[in-house]
Amino acid sequence: QVQLVESGGGVVQPGRSLRLSCAASGFIFSNYAMHWVRQAPGKGLEWVAVISYAGGNKDYADSVKGRFTISRDNSKNTVYLQMNSLRAEDTAVYYCARRPQGQGLDYWGQGTLVTVSS
């Protein structure tokens, strides 16, 4: 069965960096674009970043552009989110999700909590 498992969250000071990982299994990972979506405590969903199936195309929300980098390793079935210059407003649960061509985000991980605090 399809599984997405995020890891790498934790407490980090403002200005520092963190790398999130999302390990995929149960499907042909290299056939899917992958996304990161976050949710601040008590708030709505915010789309963060996307990477195409081969990794050649990427895009970011304006709120993270220039600070976050999405990447993937299809040999390891893993997508990453490198987060630099973290701010208090980046505090959120971060989810990875896959998107089949022409459809919405059909499978999501359980999320990993990132807390940016001094």
Partner 1 sequence: DIQMTQSPSTLSASAGDRVTITCRASQSISNWLAWYQQKPGKAPKILIYKASSLESGVPSRFSGSGSGTEFTLNISSLQPDDFATYYCQQYNSYSHTFGQGTKLEIK
**Which residues of this chain interact with partner 1, rule CB under 8 A?**
35, 37, 44-47, 50, 57, 59-62, 95, 99, 102-106, 108-111
Q: How far is the CB of 13 from partner 1 (least distance, A)?
A: 26
Q: How far is the CB of 117 from partner 1 (least distance, A)?
A: 21
Q: What 3-state class would DSSP assign to 116?
A: strand
Q: Which structure tokens are listed for 24? A: 């995929």
Whether residue 47 contacts residue 37, with contact meaning beta carbons closer than 8 Å, is answered with yes
Q: How far is the CB of 76 from partner 1 (least distance, A)?
A: 22
Q: Which structure tokens are listed for 68? A: 């976050």
When the beta carbons of 46 and 74 are compared against partner 1, the nearer one is 46
When the beta carbons of 13 and 104 are compared against partner 1, the nearer one is 104
Strands (E), 1-118: 3-7, 10-12, 18-25, 33-39, 45-51, 58-60, 68-73, 78-83, 92-99, 107-108, 112-116
When the beta carbons of 27 and 47 are compared against partner 1, the nearer one is 47
When the beta carbons of 66 and 104 are compared against partner 1, the nearer one is 104
